Amino acid sequence: MEPLIKVEDLHKIYNPGENEVRALDGISLEIQKGEFVAIIGHSGSGKSTLMNMLGCLDIPTSGNYFLNGKDVSRLSDNALSEIRNKEIGFIFQGFNLVANLDAVGNVELPLIYRGLGKQKRRRIAVQALKKVGLGTRMKHKPNELSGGQQQRVAVARAIAAQPPIILADEPTGNLDSKSTKEIMNILKALHTGGRTVIIITHDDEIASQVHRVIRIIDGRIEDDYLNEEREDTHYVF
């Protein structure tokens, strides 16, 4: 079967020339549909750059990136926008909610850019918020919500458009242990539900909770292994 994500010899070089920084230095990897992957590395290891590449937020200096078999490494800005909208649900460390929109408004954002009508959008957004347990907080603005609740809004936004890939960049980085557990449970449930979930983290504890761990050091894949000992708990969503 064709892998969902296939990366070949990906390079990203900043400041080419004397002071060049090789953020990615020849990454090749494949991720199958339905996998639950953690990309782990210290700050400066290149994991965020890899996440930007996988999320189609940036284009590589060289190498190829096939998403669903289609080469997306040389696409235009607008084409990448469309792919992000359809294929990828983002969850960020800093939540990245729009401050002057309420919870529903934030969840509706990707649906607006997909071109859905007002009522359909509202219905999908409300459903997504209920799924993450925020059915009673829909009209709250981000500053009226706790960190954990904000991140759940962000998760609702990521899953609302039903993208095949969930890309989470340090999703628990700003959260306390209780909220961390909640968010991880939601991500595990998403994986169980058939989504491909990729978490970028520096935290070994988080990495130990997923199936497959890819460790990045200095822009290269250092290690790529399966957490065999992990219990296969099924979280019901």
Partner 1 sequence: MGQFLEYVKMALDNIRSNKGRSFLTMLGIIIGITSVVTIVSIGNGLKKDVVDASNEQNNTVTIQANEDEVTDTKIITGDDIAYLKTSLNDSVQSVSAAETSIGKTTTRKGTFDTYITFTTPDYENAQYTSPLVKGKYFTDNDVSNANPVCVIDEIAALYLFGNTNVIGMSLELAVDSGIQEVTIVGIRETSDDMMEVEQTYQMMGMEKSISTLEMPYTTAESFGIPLDAFSSVSVTVYDPEDASKTASSAVQILNARHQNLGDAPFMQQKPLNLSDMFGSIMDGVTAFVALVAGISLIVGGIGVMNIMLVSVTERTREIGIRKALGAKTGSIIFQFLCESAIISGMGGLIGILLGGALTALISALEIGGIHAQLSWPAVVVATIFSCGVGIVFGIYPARKAARLSPIEALRRM
Task: Supply the minimum distance, in Å, between the C-beta of residue 175 and partner 1.
Answer: 17
Minimum Å distance from CB 86 to partner 1? 8
The CB-of-204 to partner 1 minimum distance in angstroms stands at 25
Binding-site ranges for partner 1 (CB under 8 A): 52, 55, 57-58, 77-78, 81-82, 84-86, 90, 92, 94, 96-101, 109-110, 112-115, 157
Q: What would you measure as the largest C-alpha separation in the chain, in angstroms?
A: 56
* Smallest distance, partner 1 to C-beta of residue 203, A: 20
Q: In terms of CB distance, is 91 or 213 closer to partner 1?
A: 91
Strand partners, 140: none
Cβ distance to partner 1 smaller for residue 126 or 160: 160
| Nearest CB to partner 1, comparing residues 132 and 213 | 132
Q: Which is nearer to partner 1, 57 or 217 (CB)?
A: 57
Stretch (H or E) spanning 169: strand 165-169
Nearest distance from residue 109's CB to partner 1, in Å? 5
Distance of CA 57 to the CA centre of its chain: 11
Q: Which parts of 92-174 fold into alpha helices (H)?
A: 103-114, 118-131, 147-160
CA 22 to CA 108: how far, in whole Å?
Answer: 37
Q: 41 or 105: whose CB is closer to partner 1?
A: 105
Tell me how crowded residue 17 is: count the other CB atoms within 10 A of its CB.
6
Other CB atoms within 10 A of residue 71 CB: 12
Strand blocks (E) in the chain: 5-14, 21-31, 36-40, 62-67, 70-71, 88-91, 165-169, 196-201, 212-217, 220-226
* 220 burial level (CB within 10 Å; 0-12, 13-18, 19+): middle
Cα separation, 152 vs 138, in Å, equals 11
The CB-of-25 to partner 1 minimum distance in angstroms stands at 19
Q: Which residue, 47 or 157, is less far from partner 1 as judged by CB?
A: 157
The whole-angstrom distance between residue 124's C-alpha and the CA centroid of its chain comes to: 20
